[in-house]
């Protein structure tokens, strides 16, 4: 697997990492596509950094970063998400704070930014996971709404058609996420996805499943995952990293490597994750062919495509 360790910087009292999805690519990116991916990741890092730089919370920062990625049709979340077998976008998202609060939505078709709907579930309801939140409820929460068709792009329609014709596997992976540690020492994670191209209507992956695709604990780590969702669910992958840190006193990078080896490699699972621990150290790792990702080096955005 490929692993990047980013020790906490002495220059700033916060840490931030993001991902824009992991998986195989049907074709190499063009020079223009590469530049566009770098710019999209950079915008997300800046959005999160702006929050952290003014003393904002980790949860505010990860939500700000993920909103930028949801609004960017290059990534598989929000506008431009992968389409189901029925040609619709069914969106999943989750948010979790290091204090243990969590909220998630699945099969969302009306929230313009599903990550913000997940946050409202966390903050406004006694629940953790809400399926298919109705438009009226989202509007009552003060969230921007959209018609289901507004998430669909020509690129994703073409991708779905090619997948159904057997010409490509389509976007087998693709998720966006962010993890942060703020200046007060709190961590948070947020993840958002459109799932898998040509997935069955109603399918839900690991993204909104707390402990599988998203997890945060101030004492250990904040994690956001991307990859073969079913394998991440079966392996309870995000929590497994936290457990290794808590119970085995594992170093962050070693915990990530061990989780991949034992919970994903052993079952044929593929994907990646980003993580920030209680000290502010960051790790970005993946066992797939590639992963869009980025982090702050001090306060400078670094993007990798």
pLDDT surpassing 70 at residue 293: yes
- Please give the share of the chain, as a percent, with pLDDT higher than 90: 95
pLDDT surpassing 60 at residue 222: yes
- Judged by DSSP in three states, 283 sits in strand
227 backbone φψ class: left, alpha, beta (φ>0; ψ -120 to 50): left
pLDDT band per the 50, 70, 90 thresholds, residue 193? very high
- For the record, the structure tokens of 288 come out as 């797939």
State yes or no: is 175 an active-site residue.
yes
Residues 6 or more apart whose Cβ sits within 8 Å of residue 135: 110, 145
Residues 200/162/22/25 CA torsion (nearest 10 deg): 160
pLDDT band per the 50, 70, 90 thresholds, residue 25? confident
pLDDT score recorded for residue 169: 63
> Mean pLDDT across the stretch 212-232?
97
- For the record, the structure tokens of 285 come out as 């790792």
Instruction: Note the pLDDT tens digit of each residue in 68-80.
Output: 999 999 999 999 9
> Mean pLDDT across the stretch 177-181?
99
| Active-site residue, selected from the candidate residues 163, 175, 191, 226 | 175
Q: What is the mean pLDDT of the chain?
A: 96
- What is the distance of C-alpha 33 from the center of its chain? 21
> Mean pLDDT across the stretch 220-241?
97
> Mean pLDDT across the stretch 115-141?
98
pLDDT surpassing 70 at residue 84: yes
pLDDT score recorded for residue 263: 97
pLDDT surpassing 70 at residue 199: yes
Nearest one of 52, 21, 40 to 188, comparing CA atoms: 52
Domains of the chain in sequence order: 2-297 (3.60.20.30)
pLDDT score recorded for residue 110: 98
């Amino acid at each position: 697997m490929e692993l990047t360790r980013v020790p906490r910087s002495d220059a700033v009292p916060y840490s931030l990492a993001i991902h824009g999805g992991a998986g195989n690519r049907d074709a190499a990116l063009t020079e223009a596509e590469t530049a566009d991916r770098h710019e999209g990741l950079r915008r997300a890092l800046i959005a999160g950094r702006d929050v952290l730089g003014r003393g904002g919370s980790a949860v505010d920062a990860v939500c700000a970063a993920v909103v930028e990625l949801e609004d960017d049709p290059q990534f598989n979340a929000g506008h431009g998400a992968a389409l189901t077998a029925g040609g619709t976008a069914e969106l999943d998202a989750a948010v979790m704070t290091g204090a243990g609060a969590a909220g998630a939505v699945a099969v969302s078709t009306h929230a313009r930014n599903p990550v913000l709907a997940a946050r409202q579930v966390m903050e406004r309801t006694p629940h953790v996971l809400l399926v298919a939140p109705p438009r009226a409820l989202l509007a009552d929460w003060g969230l921007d709404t959209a018609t289901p068709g507004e998430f669909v792009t020509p690129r994703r329609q073409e991708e779905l058609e090619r997948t159904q014709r057997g010409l490509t596997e389509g976007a087998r992976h693709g998720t966006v996420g962010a993890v942060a540690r703020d200046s007060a020492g709190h961590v948070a994670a947020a993840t958002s996805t459109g799932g898998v191209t040509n997935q069955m209507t109603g399918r839900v992956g690991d993204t909104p499943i707390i402990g599988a695709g998203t997890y945060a604990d101030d004492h250990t780590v904040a994690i956001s995952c991307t990859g073969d969702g079913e394998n991440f669910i079966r392996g309870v992958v995000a929590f497994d990293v936290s457990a290794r840190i808590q119970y085995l006193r594992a170093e962050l990078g070693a915990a990530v490597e061990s989780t991949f080896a034992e919970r994903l490699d052993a079952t044929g699972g593929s994907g990646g994750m980003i993580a920030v621990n209680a000290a502010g150290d960051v790790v970005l790792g993946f066992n797939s062919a590639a992963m869009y990702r980025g982090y702050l080096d001090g306060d400078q955005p670094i993007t990798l495509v």
